[in-house]
Every structure is written in structure tokens, then in C-alpha cells.
Structure 1
């Protein structure tokens, strides 16, 4: 059996792979994330996942490498990680009372095989008050999260409804990943 590598430092992805009973090592990708401006959110997240896995695979050709990326999209516009508190506030105001899409792209690569896919969910937020947003920003949680929130933390209190793969929102659609890995033995 080939060594299995997660090309990410995400604690959430690590936890989900452990939860699935998988043995793996972590070697984060060091690529600079670049995507053509005309790419759709689906194309963007799939390309970023592929770039991360390919970056690690080039130095570990005897392994199976998993790369993943998660984005938040509102009306086709990608809301990345906030640059600062003001940016987080602006993103949360945009999401307040609306439904947005969360997509996770996954690429599983070896020297013999490639599998890529995306998983998604629709997330509806309650209307958020300025006080709720300010308190959330003070918690520090939004600083490194796509769309300025984490559903597995305090951000869960903003969510009215989820449709689709919850684990795509957390950062890794683990059931789909587990099934795809079977084809790599």
C-alpha cells in the first residue's frame, strides 16, 4: 500500500481523515494559489485542489496525495479569507439573511491515477445584527476562514439551514473522499 499524504495543514481536514480511520502524513503544499479570473467558483476550487496535490506529488511520486480547497461563493462571487476585521465585517454583512454556496474541491493523485471532484452545499444565514458580527469578529474565528466564518465553531449560530454535503462546508467531503480512495487501494 502506498503512503497517503494530506497536502494541507487544515486541522479540520486532518480531523475528518482521522475520523474515517485513515493513516496519513501531512505535507502541506507551498504553491502560490493562482487561478484565471474567468474561472467559475467550481473550476476555481477544483484547480486549487489539483495544484496543491500536484505540488506535493512531484516530490513524493510513490505516494497517494490528497489536495483540497474550500471556497464560499455568493451570487457567483468568491468570498475568500478576510484580509482584516473590516473585510470580515463586510463579508458577514453580505452573507447576513442570504443563502450562499460553499464548495470544496478535492484532488487525489498518484503517479498512475488522478481523481478530482467537487462537493457543495447551500448555506442560509439568519439576519445578523451588527452586535453579533462584532462579537464574532472579536472571537478571532473569522480571520482564517473562507467567507469569514466557520460552521464548526461559533459561526454555526448564524446558520438557519444547510442543503447538501455538510462536510464540504467543514472542508472535506469525507464520504466521497473515502470512496474515491478505495480505487487507489
Structure 2
């Protein structure tokens, strides 16, 4: 399989970089790109070798969940709004040097995944069968989430969207994927859950637990991409880039 594009060790990711990649895109460097998600949650050094600019999106992340027939489209739509907002803002700030690539991700947790459900099997579940868990609003909300997850299975869905420049209107292209993993929680004593909530670690993450930190002790196994549960499905992301290179000869050359 051809190699996939990775930042070179000598290049710096900067939204103001004037360098341009040289094709073949699979071996070129992405000199100017930005991420809009909690990339810092991946343990250093990043196994993906990425060193991007972190550009928080100003998108309010307030899409109505009930507007989506398929709940899996919700994090993808949120990531799309975040990515486009960041891309358009960076272009306004420096029209001569648009970013080569903007990557945004959004992760949600869905409860009550029935045992033995495959990735495609979730598509047929009614939305009411799966409660959407985003970031807890309080310690009490965090505890409610953990009690609901405890001893059960949840589905973690991450939507990833990339934005890159093209010559035709509107001046950019978006591509997206969604990755799904099953997380199996141990049957944890209540006092363990209470101690975790008091630590405050889960307050800023979907589902109220951070699997790559102390929250990992609450989980007995993961079915699927572990990095997806952390918040960025690296393997699927790089396969997406490889697919874009196959389909778009101008990718990273504009």
C-alpha cells in the first residue's frame, strides 16, 4: 500500500507558513494545517507524529440532536461546522496563505448498546434506544452518566472532517468519516465512581470519563479503535487522506 502523508521532521505546522507541498502528495509534507479538537488529550509523544497548530473553533456546538434521523451523523455535522469555521477564519486572516488542511473532530457517547452489536448493527437501532452523552454539566450529571454506563456497554462515535483548498467555489472541499467503538465498563463499586467524579477529570469529556487517564480503570475492554475513544481515530483518518490522494490529484498542491 502506498505511504500516507505525514509531516516531515524538519517542517513546522503553522497557519502562516508560505511553503507549499510538492507532489507526490503521499510523500509531501503538510506545512500548514490546524486542528480543532482536544488533540492534547492524546498521550505525548503523539503516535501519529502530528504537530499541528491548535485552533479552537468558535462554533457553538448547539445543533439540535432530534434533527438527525441517524444519530451517528450528529458528531460529523458538528465537526463539519467546526472545521469550516476555522478554515474560513484562517483564510480571512491571511488570504495569500490558506491552511493546507484543517482537521476537526467531535466525539459523543451513546449508551445502551446491546451486546453483540456490530458497527453496522447500530444503524437500525431507534434513537430512543441510545441516550446521547456529551460533556456532563455538573458533578451530579457526571455521576448519573457513570452509573448508567457502569457494568454496561456504550458506543463511542467520533466524526472527523477535513477541509482543504480547491480552485472552484466556495474555495474549499470537505470530506468526513465517522468511527465507532464499543466500550465495556467494569462493574465498579459506587465509591470508585464517586471518587472519580470528585477528581473532576471527566467534566470536560463526552460521557464523563477519560479512558486515557484515570478513567481507564473503569473500563474492562474496548472493541474497536482505542484512539477513537480517546477522541481521534488516527488509522481511519490516514486512510481517508490516502483515499483523497487517490481521488483528487490536486490535493495539497494548491
> TM-score, structure 2 length as denominator?
0.68
How much does 1:27 deviate? 1.1
Aligned counterpart, 2:87: 57
Instruction: Provide the rounded CA distance (Å) in 1 between the counterparts of 2:233 and 2:74.
Output: 17
**2:47 pairs with one of 19, 23, 28:** 19
How much does 1:167 deviate? 0.8
Aligned counterpart, 1:46: 76
Instruction: Provide the rounded CA distance (Å) in 2 between the counterparts of 1:177 and 1:37.
Output: 25
> TM-score, structure 1 length as denominator?
0.91
How much does 1:14 deviate? 8.6
Kept in 2, the 8 Å contact 1:4–1:23? The answer is no
Instruction: Provide the rounded CA distance (Å) in 1 between the counterparts of 2:38 and 2:223.
Output: 27
| Range that drifts further, 57-66 or 44-53 | 57-66
How much does 1:120 deviate? 1.1
Structure 1 spans left out of the alignment, 5+ residues:
none
Instruction: Provide the rounded CA distance (Å) in 1 between the counterparts of 2:235 and 2:65.
Output: 31
Higher helix share: 1
Runs of 4+ in 1 over 3 A off after TM superposition: 13-16
Structure 2 spans left out of the alignment, 5+ residues:
1-20, 22-30, 92-97, 113-129, 167-172, 246-250
How much does 1:10 deviate? 3.9
Aligned counterpart, 1:89: 143
Max Rg structure: 2
Instruction: Provide the rounded CA distance (Å) in 1 between the counterparts of 2:109 and 2:176.
Output: 19
Instruction: Provide the rounded CA distance (Å) in 2 between the counterparts of 1:111 and 1:35.
Output: 26
Aligned counterpart, 1:156: 216
Aligned counterpart, 1:167: 227
1:98-124 residue CA offsets vs partner (Å, 9 max, x unmatched) = 101001100001132321001110011
